[in-house]
Amino acid sequence: AQSVTQLGSHVSVSEGALVLLRCNYSSSVPPYLFWYVQYPNQGLQLLLKYTTGATLVKGINGFEAEFKKSETSFHLTKPSAHMSDAAEYFCAVSVVNTGFQKLVFGTGTRLLVSP
């Protein structure tokens, strides 16, 4: 069964510092992987996704993630944190069964950005 593990429930960085949020997956088939962001009192917004092709995917707000099959990882990075990046980030793997997709989420990582 597909699953996702996010290491670190909280990550704290200073404004301008590198952001690294870790995600490891388990999948018996080639995975489709997603990062979602949740700002306070809002829904989940897609940051980026990996389906096939280029293993380095770029998303919105300067985020990117690299699919590494050998490490079963899909870590999210951003070179320079902004105060506005403070939010909860969820990694998810897509499970497709008879053509219908469901998302299996990790437990989330709360990113804290200090001035």
Partner 1 sequence: EPEVTQTPSHQVTQMGQEVILRCVPISNHLYFYWYRQILGQKVEFLVSFYNNEISEKSEIFDDQFSVERPDGSNFTLKIRSTKLEDSAMYFCASSAEGSYNEQFFGPGTRLTVL
Chain residues in the site for partner 1 (CB under 8 A): 32, 34, 36, 41-46, 49, 51, 90, 92, 94, 96-108
Burial track 33-56 (b if 16+ CB lie within 10 A, e otherwise) = bbbbbeeeeeebeebbbbeeeeee
What letter does residue 3 receive in the DSSP assignment?
A: E
* Three-class secondary structure of residue 24 per DSSP: strand
Q: How far is the CB of 16 from partner 1 (least distance, A)?
A: 30
Could you tell me if 41 and 22 are in contact, meaning their C-beta atoms sit under 8 angstroms apart? no
Q: How far is the CB of 51 from partner 1 (least distance, A)?
A: 6
Closer to partner 1 by Cβ: residue 17 or 108 = 108
Closer to partner 1 by Cβ: residue 99 or 115 = 99
Closer to partner 1 by Cβ: residue 17 or 38 = 38
Q: How far is the CB of 25 from partner 1 (least distance, A)?
A: 14
Q: How far is the CB of 83 from partner 1 (least distance, A)?
A: 22
* Three-class secondary structure of residue 106 per DSSP: coil
Closer to partner 1 by Cβ: residue 52 or 70 = 52
CA-only gyration radius of the chain, Å: 14
Task: Tally Cβ neighbours within 10 Å of residue 3.
Answer: 13
